[in-house]
Structure 1
Amino acid sequence: MSPVLESTARALLRRIAVEQAESRLPSLTAAVVRDGRLAWFGSRGRVEGARPTETTQYRIGSITKSMVATVVMRLRDEGRVDLLDPIGKHIPGTPVGEVTLAQLLSHTAGLTAEPPGPWWERTPGMPVEELIGLLGPETGRHRPGRRFHYSNLGFALLGELVTRHRGVSWTRAVQEEILEPLGMCDTTPRPRAPHATGYAVHPWADVLLPEPEHDAVAMAPGGQLWSTPADLARWAAFVAGDTAGVLDPATLAEMREPATVDDGDAWTGGYGLGLQLARANGRRLAGHTGSMPGFLATVWADPADKVGVLFMANSTSGVSRTLLTELLAILDEHEPRLPVEWEPIGADADLLELTGPWYWGPSAYALRLLPDRGLSLNPIGGTGRASRFTAQADGTWLGLDGYYAGETLSLVRRPDGSLSHLDLNTFVFTRTPYDSAADVPGGVDEGGWR
């Protein structure tokens, strides 16, 4: 454990103490994760008469979806499914068989938010065959791919996809492939002692109403799991990049890429593949919120900073949406991250030859050398397209991000072996603006600059 400073711990504890008191929460737990380790834990209120601890279980609701999505991505990496597959290829007989796995993972399939029948979160669940039999033309509410529309039903279908491909229940697949390798042994489909009881708090009186809890069966992939602050801290570390071999880091990065925006004109929140995304105070966060009757939970991770934060509460409503970002702000204020120390890297002479200024037409760019024969191309002056590139076995470089993600950067040499120009997916970069000695598409005016 890498603990925070005492002054930081006091400020963090005060923030959750204010939250628990002012929001009238039966109990509230919170934690900060740093560099893959639990750095701070705090709790307020009572569970069965005692202060909740790092091992007290709470229901985590839709955070379950991220774990189901991780198994789906493992199936993709194994070649068993393709994200462009229609769900009907794997689960025949639904009226929405044309929507793709990627659309279901990103909530862009246009499906209804809730399944048919009574309020599924407060009533006993039904078998998946019965659920599918209840689906009709009204299941599709929007054109697939058109917009973000959160769908619990969509993840019921993804859970069934996992079950059919693994030959075991989705819960067992999540347990064996995700939870056990990550050491999350206290995350379970049904509660175990000690666990919090879910309550609704009366809006106008300080009294409680116990909320029901059932096995959601077919809808369980949308929010069934229970977990602890300690386990959820390990999950935050996973989302931040400490995958422990559970998932290829590149696949996790793909899950964190924005697939859609979910907050209209604000563009501060979105969704990737099974992960919610947010931008707050200069951070790009990935994780998920969770709610079930009687419970609220959220986990966010910042992969760039290897920091995570979470809370768990046993109340149907009331926790501030900004609680976790405020905890991160406290951490930034009290213990700002030190920049990584600069140190030199090894460089081959042929790569050093490439560094320095290059010109796309009249626009100036700088090419810099990165570790492992990587390159970065950035506009000089700040306006233009920037990308990083990774070396390929054939002597080219592949774009990693920005406009040139997935595109190829090649060196073009003259017959005598000297370097003529760079070819970046047909765009020509020369050592001087519109170098007449290079093969610039369209040619260079014979009169030159004047």
Structure 2
Amino acid sequence: MDALSEDLELLPSTRRALRHRIAVAQSEGRTPSLVAAVSRGGELVWEGSATSVAGHGPDGDVQYRIGSITKTFTAVLVLRLRDEGLLDLSDPLGRHLPGTAADGVTIAQLLAHTGGLAAETPGEWWERSSAALRPGLDEVLGEEPFRHAPGRVFHYSNPGYTLLGSLVEALRGKPWEEVLRAEVLEPLGLDRTSGEPRAPHAGGWAVHPWADLMTPEPAEDLGVMASAGQLWSTPRDLARFADFLLRGDERVLSAASVREMRAPAATAAPGTVEGGYGLGLQLSDVGGRRLVGHGGSLPGFVAGLWLSEDEDLAAVVLSNCTSGVSASTVATDLIGIVADAEPRFPEPWRPFRASEAVPLELAGLWYWGTAAHVLRLRADGSLELAPAGTSGRAARFRAEPDGSWTGLTGYYAGETLRAVRRGDGTPSHLDLGSFVFTREPYDPEAPVPGGTDPQGWRGIG
């Protein structure tokens, strides 16, 4: 993805709209520089920059600090530990990292910011002060680490992701950044992502709110809190990382595990800017388009990485100012520009292969009580179950090796659907999480819970 893909090249009008959007963001946000990239179908299709220095615009290989996008990398490391069987997300932290004031908080709660921990550390503003003030987890958590009961509400917590980084170190026996490089950065080819800046990199600036003047921001090493916001990266590296978050990579995490990261795990409170949270990923709905990603900020820098699974699009925006421009807003706007101007072509419809066994006897109408549903079989082995002409619970299901299907969406996500057959092999009914779907409404020949009236259907009077 280092070179722009010719096969997916954007139209000149789309490229101009993208350039215009970042030019407006740089001008109105009064930021020294802003650099952006867009990928589609897993390929880098556009990159651009806007800068206050004439003739010296940064390109997609210039490092900026990415702040809390670091948390997504940390979440990937934790999911790897889970997939290796070294922990369960329901485990209390103290089982693997004992001795902290958060021993009873589960790993899943830390990943989803539902552990109840404070948003920030006690003492001085940690992003702009020496890490020597917080040499260990006791100083990060403080004497009163909780603001809410664990598991009750979403409350964004930087200390929570500090704990997750320490968890990685405890189970791997190596520093967090060393583990990250070996297990994520190197396999994915992210050689311009690092804990310390590597040339070429941008300097961080604060812009005066009422005058066109600037002052440099300090670039503090975060110490034990590195796993919450330390990283520097480039638009090209983050575009590649976004592609991984859409597709997975068996060398790092499977497609199923990154799909789990993208799934809602916490709902944000009304009145907050967050739209919800998965496992290391923020969730948002922009103009009816479901997006996942993460924003980031540290003094002197703002960053945004967002992606649309439905459009197979991702956008990255990085800028070197403390405030004034919302990198996440610009990134989601870039996705919208491409998606609206050049909608994704759907995958071609394809029939089953002639060699495949197709359970055609399951297709068609089924009834849950008296509610009619249609079951459709797809050539990829999945199936869809949806109400027939009325509102209700619809879901897609993934085929499993044992002949069952697992729900992927909606009310039935994670639930198992099985076709129950008679002795002669013909389908009797569908069992979906204890719900019985029959070929006729309240079929007397099927095991309808509660049974059916022996007189059957009849009129009044």
The CA deviation at 1:418 is 3.1
Contact 1:29-1:229 at 8 Å conserved across structures: yes
Partner of 1:421: 429
Contact 1:124-1:215 at 8 Å conserved across structures: yes
The CA deviation at 1:381 is 1.4
Distance in 2 of aligned mates of 1:128 and 1:74: 28
For residue 413 of structure 1, what is the amino acid of its counterpart? R
Contact 1:126-1:216 at 8 Å conserved across structures: no
Partner of 2:391: 383
Distance in 1 of aligned mates of 2:450 and 2:41: 52
Q: What percent of counterpart residues are identical?
A: 55
Pick from 254, 257, 278: which aligns with 2:284?
A: 278
Contact 1:291-1:297 at 8 Å conserved across structures: yes
Partner of 2:222: 216
Distance in 2 of aligned mates of 1:251 and 1:44: 36
Pick from 44, 55, 68: which aligns with 1:62?
A: 68
Deviations 1:253-309 (A, max 9, x none): 111111112251689711111111111123221111000000000000112222101
Distance in 2 of aligned mates of 1:82 and 1:342: 39
The CA deviation at 1:404 is 2.3
The CA deviation at 1:414 is 3.2
Distance in 2 of aligned mates of 1:447 and 1:211: 82
The CA deviation at 1:133 is 5.1
The CA deviation at 1:94 is 1.3
Deviations 1:89-138 (A, max 9, x none): 22222122111111111111010111223211111213876342564441
Pick from 232, 235, 243: which aligns with 1:237?
A: 243
For residue 353 of structure 1, what is the amino acid of its counterpart? E
The CA deviation at 1:385 is 1.6
CA RMSD, 1 decimal: 2.1
Cα gap change, 1:335 to 1:49, in 2 (>3 Å)? closer
Pick from 94, 106, 111: which aligns with 1:105?
A: 111
Pick from 347, 350, 366: which aligns with 1:343?
A: 350
Q: Counterparts of 1:99-138 in structure 2 under 5 Å?
A: 99-126=105-132, 130-132=136-138, 135-138=141-144
**1:83 matches 2:89:** yes
For residue 198 of structure 1, what is the amino acid of its counterpart? G
Distance in 1 of aligned mates of 2:180 and 2:193: 10
Partner of 1:247: 253
TM score, norm. by length of structure 1: 0.95
The CA deviation at 1:58 is 0.4
Cα gap change, 1:296 to 1:350, in 2 (>3 Å)? closer
For residue 360 of structure 1, what is the amino acid of its counterpart? W
Contact 1:358-1:365 at 8 Å conserved across structures: yes
Distance in 1 of aligned mates of 2:134 and 2:283: 29
Partner of 1:364: 372
Q: How many pairs were matched up?
A: 450
1:270 match: secondary structure: coil
Deviations 1:425-448 (A, max 9, x none): 322211111122222222222222
Partner of 1:326: 333
1:378 match: secondary structure: strand
Distance in 1 of aligned mates of 2:394 and 2:273: 21
Structure 1: unaligned runs, 5 residues or longer: none
2:305 match: secondary structure: strand
344-353 vs 168-177, greater mean Cα deviation: 344-353
324-333 vs 390-399, greater mean Cα deviation: 390-399
174-183 vs 42-51, greater mean Cα deviation: 42-51
Distance in 2 of aligned mates of 1:297 and 1:16: 13
Deviations 1:324-371 (A, max 9, x none): 222222212321222222121237566011101011111000111123
For residue 30 of structure 2, what is the amino acid of its counterpart? R
**1:184 matches 2:190:** yes
Distance in 2 of aligned mates of 1:381 and 1:280: 28
Distance in 1 of aligned mates of 2:347 and 2:266: 32
Cα gap change, 1:251 to 1:353, in 2 (>3 Å)? same
The CA deviation at 1:243 is 2.8
For residue 165 of structure 1, what is the amino acid of its counterpart? L
Distance in 1 of aligned mates of 2:400 and 2:26: 53
The CA deviation at 1:242 is 4.7
Contact 2:121-2:142 at 8 Å conserved across structures: no
Pick from 145, 156, 160: which aligns with 1:150?
A: 156
Contact 2:141-2:159 at 8 Å conserved across structures: no
Deviations 1:136-189 (A, max 9, x none): 441011100111111111111111111111111101111111111111101111
Cα gap change, 1:8 to 1:123, in 2 (>3 Å)? same
Partner of 1:74: 80
Contact 2:367-2:437 at 8 Å conserved across structures: yes
Deviations 1:204-260 (A, max 9, x none): 110001000121111111111101111111112112225363101111111111111
Deviations 1:402-421 (A, max 9, x none): 22233332233334443322
Distance in 2 of aligned mates of 1:349 and 1:331: 40
